[in-house]
Structure formats: C-alpha cells, structure tokens
C-alpha cells in the first residue's frame, strides 16, 4: 500500500495555480507560491509551509474553512518565510494541517487528510500533516510546521523524516497563527541529511555555547511507557547513537511519574489555546470535528487559578530538568509510542497509543528544550522514530548530530 511508487518524485515548481499532488498535502483555496533569491545557501531547494503562517498576498487558513472565511488577507509575511526565501529557497505552496492544529492524527475532514507515502492505510501524524507528507513523498525538499505537542515531531516519525523542534523562542515565529504562546514553536522537517543541515543553519544560526556531546542518557521510563516490541525495535538505533556520542546509561526522567507532567501540560496548553480561539469560537460558532470540539470544550472549563498553578509547577519541572540533564548529554527516547497507527484501528487502540505518546511528547515543550527526531529504523515495514533531546541552546549541535547519525546509518 505504499504510494511512493506512484509519484514521479519530481519537485513542484513555483506556480500561480494550486499544486496537484497525489498525497493531498497542499491547500487549494488559499494557495500562494514565491520564488526565492537568486543566490543563497538554499538556492535550488523547494519548500512548503504549514497553513498557519502569514504570507502577504494570501490568507492563512489554520485548518478550517470558517477561519479562512472570517479573516482578511495577511498583512505581512512571517519572518521565517522571508528568511528562507532570502536564502534562495522557492516556496511552492501551503500544506494542510489538522483542524485548528488541535490534534496529532493528521486528519482534516474539511480539506481531505494528507496521505502517508509509506502506507496510505496509516495516519500521517499531525498537526503538520501536509508538511510531513509532502516532504516524505519527495514533492518538496523541506517544509516548516509548528509544534506544541508533537505537531512536527509526530509527522517526522510517522513519515521517516528528520524533524526539529527548536529551543523555545530560538526561531522567530512571528506571523504564525495564535495557539499556545508559552510552548508552541516553529519546527521543520527534511528527508535528506544535507538539506536538514542547510535549513538548520539558516533557521537556527550558531549556538552561543558549544559543549560537545559525550554521553547518552537512555530514558528508562520513556521506553517503559511504550510496548515492549517498540522498545526492542529501537535498540539498534539507541546503540548507533551511543557509538557516535559516548557511553550510555539508563535514567528516569519523571521521578514523580508522567501523569503529573501531562496534567501540567494539558492545563497550560488548554488555557492558552482557548485564550487564542475562544473569542472567535463564540462569535462564529464554527462546525468542528469531534476531537478538536471535545478538547476545546474541555479547555473552556479551565480556570485561571488552575492555569497559574500549572505554570508554577512547570517552572519547577524546568528547573529540575536543567539539573538532571548535563550540557554534554543527549537524552534518547522514542519519538512516538509506535509507528503510524492504521486508520482501521479501534478508537480504544488509537486513544491508548495517543496516551502513551503524550508522555513522550510533553517533555520538550514543558522544559523548553530542543528535540530532534531521527529516522534510523523501521517496524512493520514503515518508519519508527527515535528522539534526541538536549539542553536549551544546543540546537545547531543537535541538528548536526542528527544529520550525521542518519548519514552514517544509511551507509
């Protein structure tokens, strides 16, 4: 059921018309494409952006037709888009995302759900689903997205991509749709290690402090949070990281248990998301699909004192994590709880995997640390992602390590 064989694997060209693609990755109602500078480190590369970023001359749709209908033209172009264009890359279109970005499945019943190039029976992962599909399918060289609870990391894992969630505020995400102000970041994906490095250099810049990674922390509680066969399948990837970085030792990330971490995350995210969308929801009463509708209804019930208490607890977690993870160590864990689930899986099974994944995905946003997904192994003939997390500000060093790990593993 792989779709790659049906794709010509030719990059899309800059066009005033919405791009056609067999993966359903691109938006059509608000398409825009722009040529990059004639010179620059990204010259000759094509990229796409998640439909949450402003581009003057278009209107971002945020995954919902009612949002598109009720918002005027973008007043300016997002800083990240300008930076990529100025570096020579060509923007070929915007990509489909989950409805209001409040899901991680990759489905969008308004515009059609992007297809996983490795197996169209499986989920693509979201909310940056179109960006993941377009890059994995070879339609673009790289794509940007936004990431709060895995919205870049999950599509990267499900589609066999390098995926970066930078240190909080490391990359300017001015011109992005409002969402979760204290944890949402701009991220990006690429299939080829050399492209990933080039894009990282443009978006991340140089690290202020460079302490070589010399040891690997294997997150025991994270591997115990997933099924045994998943942990076993990732063993060669963990060994590969240790071989290139240094000795590995098992550690426990959440000594108080991930349930408390998840509760803090959901409270902060839910409150801030409703702060961003509540007024619009009350005014226009858009029709929402079941998942986002239920999550937003719950978010509306969060009281401010609960939010402030969760923020205080988060600060305590952040302080403890800085003491836990040395500057010369990388933390290794599964990116998500499994390979991309089958769309025919029961709701009970999908919710079980989602709950497992939440334990893994909440670490980086709660601690503000950079995280990169590396595609080193497969399971059930589809990609299975491994993750590296490091201290704040080590983004470029982490990106280079990830690219080198993939390059050496492919030899």
E strand map for 18-171: 46-50, 90-95, 142-147, 162-165
Q: How do strand 248-251 and strand 90-95 relate by DSSP bridges?
A: unpaired
The DSSP code for 334 is E
Query: Is 11 known to be catalytic?
Result: no
Taking alpha carbons only, the member of 384, 382, 395 closest to residue 335 is 384
The three-state secondary structure class of 324 is: helix
Q: Respond yes or no on whether the N-terminal peptide bond of residue 74 is cis (omega within 30° of 0).
A: no
Query: Is 127 known to be catalytic?
Result: yes
Per the CB < 8 A criterion, the answer to whether 162 and 371 are in contact is no
Per the CB < 8 A criterion, the answer to whether 121 and 344 are in contact is yes
What distance in Å separates the CA atoms of residue 186 and residue 142, rounded to the nearest whole number? Answer: 14
Long-range contacts of range 298-307, CB-CB < 8 Å, 24 or more positions apart? Answer: 298/270, 299/269, 299/270, 299/271, 299/273, 299/274, 300/274, 302/267, 302/270, 302/271, 302/274, 304/271, 306/267, 306/271, 307/267, 307/268, 307/271, 307/272
Place of tokens 């992005």: 176
| Residue from 103, 105, 113, 127 carrying the catalytic annotation | 127
- SS3 for 254-281 is CCCCHHHHHHHHHHHHHHHHHHHHHHHH
Whole-number Cα distances in Å, 329 to 198, 220, 242: 24, 15, 11
Structure token pair of residue 237: 């990837």
Residues belonging to the active site: 50, 127, 151
């Amino acid at each position: 059921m792989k779709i790659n064989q049906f794709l010509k694997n030719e990059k899309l060209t800059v066009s005033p018309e919405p791009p056609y693609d067999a993966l359903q990755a691109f938006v059509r109602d608000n398409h825009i494409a722009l040529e990059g500078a004639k010179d620059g480190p990204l010259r000759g590369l094509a990229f796409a952006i998640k439909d949450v970023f402003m581009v003057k001359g278009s209107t971002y749709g945020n995954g919902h037709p009612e949002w598109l209908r009720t918002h005027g033209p973008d007043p300016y172009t997002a800083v990240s888009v300008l930076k990529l264009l100025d570096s020579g890359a060509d923007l070929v279109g915007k990509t489909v995302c989950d409805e209001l970005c409040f899901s991680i499945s990759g489905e969008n019943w308004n515009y059609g759900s992007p297809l996983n190039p490795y197996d169209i029976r499986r989920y693509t992962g979201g909310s940056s689903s179109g960006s993941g599909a377009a890059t994995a399918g070879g339609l673009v060289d790289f794509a940007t997205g936004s990431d709060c609870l895995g919205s870049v990391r999950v599509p990267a894992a499900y589609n066999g991509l390098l995926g970066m969630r930078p240190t909080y505020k490391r990359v300017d995400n001015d011109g992005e749709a409002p969402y979760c102000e204290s944890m949402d970041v701009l991220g990006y994906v690429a299939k080829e290690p050399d492209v990933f490095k080039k894009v990282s250099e443009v978006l991340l810049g140089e690290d202020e402090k460079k302490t070589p990674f010399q040891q690997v922390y294997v997150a025991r509680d994270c591997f115990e949070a997933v099924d045994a066969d998943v942990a076993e399948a990732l063993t060669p990837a963990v060994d590969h990281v240790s071989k290139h970085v240094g000795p590995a030792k098992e550690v426990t990330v959440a000594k108080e248990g991930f349930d408390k971490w998840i509760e803090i995350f959901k409270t902060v995210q839910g409150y801030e998301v409703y702060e961003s969308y509540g007024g619009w929801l009350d005014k226009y009463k858009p029709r929402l699909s079941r998942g986002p509708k239920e999550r937003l209804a719950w978010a509306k019930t969060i009281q401010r004192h609960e939010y402030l208490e969760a923020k205080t607890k988060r600060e305590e977690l952040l302080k403890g994590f800085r003491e836990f993870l040395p500057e010369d160590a990388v933390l290794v864990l599964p990116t998500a709880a499994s390979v991309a689930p089958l769309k025919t899986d029961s709701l009970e099974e999908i919710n079980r995997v989602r709950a497992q994944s939440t334990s893994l995905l909440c670490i980086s946003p709660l601690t503000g640390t950079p995280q990169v997904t590396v595609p080193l192994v497969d399971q059930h003939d589809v990609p299975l992602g491994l993750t590296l997390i490091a201290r704040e500000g080590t983004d470029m060093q982490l990106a280079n390590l990830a690219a080198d790990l993939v390059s050496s593993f492919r030899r």
